[in-house]
Structure 1
């Protein structure tokens, strides 16, 4: 039996919904965001790059460089620094150092800056790591969904 003759549910299960001819639109379309350019949903690569940059800054530059803390022995110190800098920077500027370098920012769903409660919820869940690794078709992690935020290009 060729792939053209398979039942529709099999196509969806084997090849994803797009292979079955179901168009879900581009990431962010349901949120009213543009497909490309400023304000479009940031891709996974940029978000991953930003968090790696932020983690390196918190681990090596701040924890080890300024405080003299070995990040391997005291793993909670870099995590606390990461949480503190994320709360401060996203809460005031809408972005961390890594996000700024890669041209992305955190936005509330109405397009403005997220409020303090949203930033706190997002940061707490981001520090747990698992919510950030599960995302929807708009490329929003569970931490962004819980905080009603989205990471967009600048």
Structure 2
């Protein structure tokens, strides 16, 4: 029975410390309320008689907003407001590419992937995209 060799500590990438869960939940709430406000202001679909369609519109705006901002400035509106950033686990300093950012946010929208996480704080959404949500200080290397 053969086992594959384990990478030495020198070969393993150093994963930065993830931001705290409460801080990430605050960022998520800020994002969600911002998306509710945008949908409420700019679409006639949102309202008391709209039914479940308005919830899907808000969810779509959330996924698009957070993916586009993550790919361009390193975090969604709520993450930027709460001084969090989504960074590559590989250590590259540039923002996450658009496709991994969209994948990450679609998985966040499915709810379960962020709730299944490793001890280092990365959920399935981060594992799939090769990312981690960190504080601004950690992202800057301070």
Under a length normalisation based on structure 1, what TM-score does the superposition of the two structures give?
0.71
Whether 2:70 is the aligned partner of 1:90: answer: yes
Structure 1: distance between partners of 2:59 and 2:73: 20
**Alpha carbon RMSD of aligned pairs, Å?**
1.8
Unaligned residue ranges in structure 1 (runs of 5+): 1-29, 35-39
Q: Cα deviations across residues 2-27 of structure 1 (Å, max 9, x unaligned)?
A: xxxxxxxxxxxxxxxxxxxxxxxxxx
Q: Max radius of gyration: which structure?
A: 1
Whether the aligned pair in 1 keeps the contact of 2:18 and 2:121 (CA below 8 Å) is yes
Question: Number of residue pairs matched?
Answer: 119
Whether the aligned pair in 2 keeps the contact of 1:135 and 1:141 (CA below 8 Å) is yes
How far off is 1:67 after superposition?
Answer: 1.9
Structure 1: distance between partners of 2:67 and 2:77: 12
Whether the aligned pair in 2 keeps the contact of 1:63 and 1:70 (CA below 8 Å) is no
Unaligned residue ranges in structure 2 (runs of 5+): 1-11, 137-142
TM alignment of 1:5-20, pairs within 5 A: none
How far off is 1:44 after superposition?
Answer: 0.4
Under a length normalisation based on structure 2, what TM-score does the superposition of the two structures give?
0.76
How far off is 1:33 after superposition?
Answer: 4.6
Runs ≥4 residues deviating over 4 A:
none
Structure 2: distance between partners of 1:76 and 1:146: 23
Structure 1: distance between partners of 2:125 and 2:97: 14
- Which structure has more relative contact order (CA 8 Å, sep 6+)? It is 2
Whether the aligned pair in 1 keeps the contact of 2:84 and 2:134 (CA below 8 Å) is yes
Structure 1: distance between partners of 2:123 and 2:25: 12
